[in-house]
Amino acid sequence: MSSDENKIIERLILEGAMEVAGVDAENGELLYSFTPKIQQVMPELYHDHMNSVNAEILSLWERGYVDIDLLSKDPIVTLALKSFDETEISKLNKRDKWSIEELKRLSGKHPNS
């Protein structure tokens, strides 16, 4: 990570817009997550992040890992059975696996919750 990226992360943490979410088990690096305050502190970053999250969710939906009621005014994402099949999960890349695990954590369906 560059010095500029470290400064941005430090600023976001100090302003309450980002927090440490955990440690990557593979490389020991810190993992971060945004807090709702990111919307006020850096709205452009928030919008970029939301676009990325939405693209990831749609990709998982297209491959059958999540269900979405696209006709709903506020679509709700739910985990499909495929998200709990270890054989299917093993086919995913690291980012997709992390996304599924995060959805499980947020839904309360994670084995460690």
> What is d(CA 52, CA 60) in angstroms, rounded to the nearest whole number?
12
Round the average pLDDT of the chain to a whole number and report it: 90
Q: Domain coordinates of the chain in residue numbers?
A: 1-41, 43-107
Report how far apart, in Å, the C-alpha atoms of 47 and of each of 10, 12, 50, 53, 72 are: 20, 15, 5, 10, 22
Q: Give the long-range contacts of residues 42-47, CB within 8 A, separation 24 or more.
A: 42/12, 42/17
pTM of the model: 0.75
Instruction: Provide mean pLDDT across the span 8-36.
Output: 90
Instruction: Provide mean pLDDT across the span 56-81.
Output: 92
Name the one residue in this structure whose structure tokens are 């959805």: 103
